[in-house]
């Protein structure tokens, strides 16, 4: 068994900073007054829980009072800690990680454990897999510490103490865990109880600083001092006691939300945040072997109802790039009433979309040149629709009717070839251009009639009754026009088309 | 010292052409369907991977009929023929009669000039269009340059229809044609091409206005006998007052 721990260092901070790629502004997250103070802090008042490197450089450190922090850095952006947002982010990470293995366990508050034992062959070994995850997670805007070990607890401990470590065999564990500080025992919570802070304080008080030193302690001595949890945790980490983890079941509906570090009405930061969410969605969809046809983006404002965008993809897809492109087009056309404070993504209708097999040389099996072109065709239509509106893009078909206005119909752009029979060639000529409305001719207009008349009289049955004599006429600049005389009054002439 | 090679003996390159002959582009052109025109176009037809500009002296004198044979041929491909911001409604029965597969036709109606340019660039760059026809009321060098750059990397036939009074403006297009309707046919003035300038216009009697309407007639209908519209005799030509939609 190989467990991979994905640890999110500074989770309270990552919840706020992931929507912004830069670390330009100092940001600090503070706990609400009355909430439990961070270790070492005094009770009461708002305290800094986490700060980004810019803020750390300004001298702000976790545990500092909010007022002191603002005194140190007046331009500090402060955000309240969002415990619910942290839990949601952990779930999102777990959903995304489901593309690497189906065996996932959440280890709150800031760790996801993957049992990757069965996936190693597919991904080319644990080292390869870790590199791949570290590379892919950048698209989510998260920072991860990764570590692998044969037991979940050992993997967690290694990840907390700085990522990148791999322990492959169980018998290496005591030696590899020995240098870790006793503080890691804090994250050994399970259903059977936690290692209390007093127990860790006790160990530190008797001069123990590493796990290795703890391993030499007599069990009964620890038991007498009510610190059995320590022995128990060490046994679980070393694989001497079973450590079952409840499997994580991904939700069917995908919903995720990002808070922007600063409210913004610009298209760029909004598209950036949306891309972060779409990357997570793509991982979720890949894990489910499914795709979506549309998704909804909600742009939340302060004191105003959220703006909702529905983005249609045209096909069932889980292509992150395609979703990101279309989302950007939609966002670019928006006129926002107020700056956006948060972006939420929801994909309600998840449809099955099996993966495509690849040939020996990596190309998609059954890839025909036409297939890529069909993709490009739908993408073009969806892009144009996204920017110009649904009604601005369309096709036309001939329709069996003698009235020129009814002899064609607008249709949605079609993918399949035309099945409509070509029109009857025995009809007199028809112009390439039709005016949207027949234009009345003034008495002073001089045209030369060159052919005709062709009488079109139809439509008494559906309320659009026409009775016209159509002629070909030569205009002043040698345009050939399609004109008609209204038979109802016998007087008025109209231009209806141009032989372009 | 090496002897100086005469210029004519230099190995031929597709990106270098002599001013007194037509360029030989790397991609053959799309046959226009008019032999007189093909003979004067580098590549033997409408160039691809380049911008084409058509300046019609009046809208509706045959600029669409000029392209129709090429479009009918391109419609056989599995790609869009995009019409961006057309002046009027392309009339489905007549297009079908020209042999253009309407299932391939994509009509885009942007709401503003900026959107027209954006849509044209997307369509040209998408690799999903076999032809992009765009009607531009005005254009500046910068946006034309963007379109030309997009066209260079594209398999599409990219045609801009522009008003005739802009024909003298500088433009990065590689082919510029001015269209003039005459009684004996459609005259094409080649304003710019990759090759020697052409002094005399090319006359396409096939696109004489009556022949366009009645292609099955071999003899043009004689233009005689004025029929007056509303019974008032008036010899002076007057604008017909057509307004693009």
Low-confidence ranges of chain A (pLDDT < 50): 35-43, 367
pLDDT at position A190: 60
Query: What region, left, alpha or beta, does residue A478 occupy, with left being phi > 0 and alpha being psi -120 to 50 degrees?
Result: left
Distance CA B104, CA A432 (A): 16
pLDDT at position B131: 93
Whether B221 and chain A come into contact, CB under 8 Å, resolves to yes
Report CB contact under 8 Å: A434, B88.
yes
Task: Report yes or no: B38 and B45 within 8 Å, Cβ to Cβ.
Answer: yes
Output phi, psi for A230, to 5 deg. Answer: -65, -50
Whether A495 and chain B come into contact, CB under 8 Å, resolves to yes
Alpha-carbon gap: B95 to the closest alpha carbon of chain A (Å): 6
Alpha-carbon gap: B10 to the closest alpha carbon of chain A (Å): 39
- Residue corresponding to tokens 């110009």: A388
Predicted ipTM?
A: 0.79
Question: Cβ neighbours of residue A421 under 8 Å, at least 6 residues apart?
Answer: none
Report CB contact under 8 Å: B106, A395.
yes
Question: If you ran DSSP here, which 8-state letter would residue B11 be given?
Answer: P
Give the closest of A432, A451, A473 to B95, CB-based. A432
Asked if residue B222 has pLDDT above 60, the reply is no
- In terms of average pLDDT, the best of A369-378, B25-34, B67-76, B221-230 is B67-76
Would residue B221 count as lying in a domain? Answer: no
pLDDT at position B237: 38
Distance CA A272, CA A261 (A): 12
Task: Report yes or no: A272 and A340 within 8 Å, Cβ to Cβ.
Answer: no
Query: What region, left, alpha or beta, does residue A125 occupy, with left being phi > 0 and alpha being psi -120 to 50 degrees?
Result: left
Would residue B135 count as lying in a domain? Answer: yes
Report CB contact under 8 Å: A422, B239.
no
In chain B, which residues have their Cβ closer than 8 Å to the Cβ of A432?
64-65, 68, 90-91, 94-95, 98
Task: Report yes or no: A134 and A123 within 8 Å, Cβ to Cβ.
Answer: no
Asked if residue B132 has pLDDT above 90, the reply is yes
Structure tokens at A129: 């897999």
- How crowded is residue A196: how many other Cβ atoms within 10 Å of its Cβ? 15
In chain B, which residues have their Cβ closer than 8 Å to the Cβ of A478?
58, 61, 181-183, 209
Task: Report yes or no: A312 and A260 within 8 Å, Cβ to Cβ.
Answer: no
Task: Report yes or no: A31 and A81 within 8 Å, Cβ to Cβ.
Answer: yes
Q: Across A15-154, where does the E strand assignment appear?
A: 27-31, 47-51, 77-80, 104-107, 111-115, 145-149
Output phi, psi for A164, to 5 deg. Answer: 90, -5
The helices-and-strands tally (H runs, E runs) of chain A is 15, 20
Q: Across chain B, where does the E strand assignment appear?
A: 51-56, 80-84, 89-90, 105-108, 129-135, 157-163, 175-182, 185-192, 202-204
* Mean pLDDT of all residues in B174-196: 87
CA quadruple A315, A321, A323, A327: dihedral sign: negative
**Alpha-carbon radius of gyration of chain A:** 34
pLDDT at position A426: 64
Whole-number average pLDDT of chain A: 82
pLDDT at position B162: 92
Choosing among B56, B60, B125, B185, which should be mutated to test the A contact, i.e. which has the most A CBs within 10 A? B60
Mind listing the domains of chain A with CATH numbers?
Answer: 82-250 (no CATH), 255-356 (3.30.1490.100), 425-498 (no CATH)
Q: What share of chain A is helix, strand, coil (3-state, %, to 5)?
A: 35, 30, 40
Instruction: Quote the distance between the C-alpha of residue B155 and its chain's center.
Output: 16
End-to-end CA distance of chain B: 69
Report CB contact under 8 Å: A476, B98.
no
Residue A492's closest chain B neighbor by CA? B230
Would residue B241 count as lying in a domain? Answer: no
Task: Report yes or no: A140 and A119 within 8 Å, Cβ to Cβ.
Answer: no
Dihedral of the alpha carbons of A345, A351, A352, A357, in degrees to the nearest 10: -60
pLDDT at position B82: 93
Task: Report yes or no: B46 and B63 within 8 Å, Cβ to Cβ.
Answer: no
Whether A447 and chain B come into contact, CB under 8 Å, resolves to yes
Distance CA A272, CA A3 (A): 32
Alpha-carbon gap: B122 to the closest alpha carbon of chain A (Å): 7
- Report the DSSP beta bridge partners of residue A145: A7
pLDDT at position B244: 44
**Alpha-carbon radius of gyration of chain B:** 20
Q: At what angle do helices A267-288 and A83-97 cross, to 10 degrees?
A: 50
pLDDT at position B223: 45
Task: Report yes or no: A276 and A352 within 8 Å, Cβ to Cβ.
Answer: no
Task: Please state which of the ranges A180-189, A206-215, B66-75, B131-140 shows the lowest mean pLDDT.
Answer: A180-189
Would residue B64 count as lying in a domain? Answer: yes
pLDDT at position A52: 82
Residue of A395, A405, A396, A398 whose CA lies nearest to A462: A405
Would residue B77 count as lying in a domain? Answer: yes
Task: Report yes or no: B186 and B62 within 8 Å, Cβ to Cβ.
Answer: yes
Distance CA A176, CA A149 (A): 10
In chain B, which residues have their Cβ closer than 8 Å to the Cβ of A329?
none
Residue of A25, A323, A6 whose CA lies nearest to A155: A6
Domain hosting residue B119, numbered range: 27-213
pLDDT at position B86: 92
Would residue B141 count as lying in a domain? Answer: yes
Total domains present in chain B: 1
Report CB contact under 8 Å: A408, B92.
yes
Name residues 320-379 of chain A within 8 A of B (Cβ): 370, 373-374, 376-377, 379
In chain B, which residues have their Cβ closer than 8 Å to the Cβ of A373?
78-79, 127-128
Whether B159 and chain A come into contact, CB under 8 Å, resolves to no
Structure tokens at A38: 């961070």
In chain A, which residues have their Cβ closer than 8 Å to the Cβ of B204?
none
Q: How many CA atoms lie within 13 A of A74 on its CB side?
A: 0
CATH number, domain of B167, equals: 3.40.50.300
Alpha-carbon gap: B61 to the closest alpha carbon of chain A (Å): 5
Whether B93 and chain A come into contact, CB under 8 Å, resolves to yes
> Between A and B, how many residue pairs show a Cβ–Cβ distance under 8 A?
229
Per DSSP, the residues of A366-433 read T--HHHHHHHHHHHHHHHHHHHH-GGGEEEEEE-S-SSGGGSEEEEPPPSSPP-SPPPPTTSPP--SE
Question: Cβ neighbours of residue A154 under 8 Å, at least 6 residues apart?
Answer: A3, A167, A173, A176, A177, A237, A238, A239
Give the closest of A387, A442, A473 to B241, CB-based. A442
Q: Residue B219 — very low, low, confident or very high, per pLDDT cuts 50/70/90?
A: very low
Burial of B172 (0-12, 13-18, 19+ CB in 10 A): middle
Structure tokens at B118: 């954006």
In chain A, which residues have their Cβ closer than 8 Å to the Cβ of B238?
444-446, 476
Name residues 104-123 of chain A within 8 A of B (Cβ): none
pLDDT at position B83: 93
């Amino acid at each position: 068994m190989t467990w991979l721990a994905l640890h999110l260092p500074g989770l309270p901070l990552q919840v706020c900073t992931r929507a912004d790629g830069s670390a330009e502004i100092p940001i600090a997250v503070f706990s609400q007054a009355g909430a439990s103070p961070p270790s070492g802090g005094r009770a009461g008042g708002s305290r800094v829980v986490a700060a980004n490197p810019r803020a750390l450089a300004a001298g702000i450190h976790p545990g500092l009072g909010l007022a002191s922090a603002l005194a140190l850095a007046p331009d500090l952006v402060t955000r309240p800690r969002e415990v619910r947002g942290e839990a949601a982010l952990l779930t999102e990470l777990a959903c995304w990680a489901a593309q690497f293995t189906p065996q996932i366990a959440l280890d709150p508050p800031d760790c996801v454990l993957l049992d990757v034992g069965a996936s190693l062959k597919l991904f080319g070994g644990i080292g390869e897999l870790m590199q791949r995850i570290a590379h892919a997670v950048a698209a989510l805007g998260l920072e991860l510490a990764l570590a692998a070990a044969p037991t979940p607890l050992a993997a967690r401990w290694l990840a907390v103490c700085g990522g990148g470590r791999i322990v492959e065999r169980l018998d290496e564990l005591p030696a590899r865990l020995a240098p870790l500080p006793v503080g890691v025992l804090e994250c050994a919570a399970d259903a059977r109880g936690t290692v209390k802070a007093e127990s860790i304080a006790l160990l530190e008080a008797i001069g123990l600083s590493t796990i290795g030193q703890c391993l030499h302690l007599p069990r009964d001595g620890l038991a007498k001092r009510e610190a059995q949890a320590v022995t128990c945790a060490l046994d679980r980490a070393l694989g001497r006691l079973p450590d079952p983890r409840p499997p994580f079941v991904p939700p069917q509906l995908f919903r995720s939300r990002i808070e922007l570090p600063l409210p913004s009405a610009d298209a760029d930061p909004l598209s950036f945040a949306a891309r972060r969410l779409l990357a997570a969605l793509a991982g979720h969809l890949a894990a489910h072997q499914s795709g979506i046809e549309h998704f909804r983006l909600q742009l939340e404002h302060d004191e105003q109802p959220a703006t909702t965008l529905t983005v249609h993809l045209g096909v069932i897809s889980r292509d992150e790039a395609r979703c990101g492109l279309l989302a950007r087009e939609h966002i670019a056309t928006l006129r926002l009433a107020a700056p956006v404070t948060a972006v939420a993504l929801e994909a309600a209708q998840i449809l099955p979309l099996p993966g495509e097999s690849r040939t020996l040389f990596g190309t998609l099996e059954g890839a025909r040149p036409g297939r890529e072109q069909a993709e490009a065709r739908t993408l073009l239509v969806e892009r144009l629709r996204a920017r110009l509106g649904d009604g601005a893009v369309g096709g036309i078909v001939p329709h069996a009717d003698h009235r020129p206005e009814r002899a064609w119909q607008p249709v949605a752009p079609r993918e399949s070839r035309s099945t409509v029979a070509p029109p009857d060639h025995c009809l007199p000529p028809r112009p390439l251009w039709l005016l949207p409305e027949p234009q009345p001719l003034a008495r002073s207009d001089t045209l030369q009639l060159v052919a005709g008349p062709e009488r079109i009289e139809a439509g008494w049955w559906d309320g659009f009754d026409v009775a016209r004599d159509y002629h070909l006429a030569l205009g002043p600049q040698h345009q050939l026009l399609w004109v008609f005389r209204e038979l109802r009054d016998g007087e008025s002439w109209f231009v209806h088309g141009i032989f372009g | 010292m090496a002897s100086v090679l005469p210029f004519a003996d230099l190995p031929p390159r597709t990106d270098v052409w002599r001013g007194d002959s037509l360029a030989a582009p790397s991609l053959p052109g799309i046959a226009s369907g008019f032999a007189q025109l093909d003979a004067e176009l580098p590549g033997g037809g409408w160039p691809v991977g380049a911008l084409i500009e058509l300046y019609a002296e009046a809208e509706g004198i045959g600029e669409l009929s000029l392209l129709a044979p090429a479009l009918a041929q391109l419609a056989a491909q599995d790609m869009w023929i995009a019409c961006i911001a057309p002046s009027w409604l392309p009339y489905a029965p007549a297009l079908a009669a020209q042999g253009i597969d309407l299932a391939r036709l994509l009509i885009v109606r942007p709401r503003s000039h900026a959107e027209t340019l954006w849509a044209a660039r997307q369509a040209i760059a998408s690799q999903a269009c076999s032809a992009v026809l765009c009607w531009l009321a005005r254009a500046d060098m910068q946006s034309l340059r963007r379109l030309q750059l997009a066209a260079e990397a594209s398999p599409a036939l990219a045609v801009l229809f522009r008003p005739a009074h802009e024909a003298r403006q500088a433009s990065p297009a590689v082919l510029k044609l001015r269209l003039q309707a005459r009684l004996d046919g459609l005259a094409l003035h080649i304003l710019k091409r990759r090759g020697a300038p052409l002094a005399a216009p090319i006359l396409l009697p096939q696109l004489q206005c009556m022949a366009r309407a009645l292609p099955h007639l071999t003899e043009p209908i004689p233009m005689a006998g004025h029929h007056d519209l509303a019974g008032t005799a008036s010899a002076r030509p007057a604008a017909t007052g057509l307004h693009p939609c």
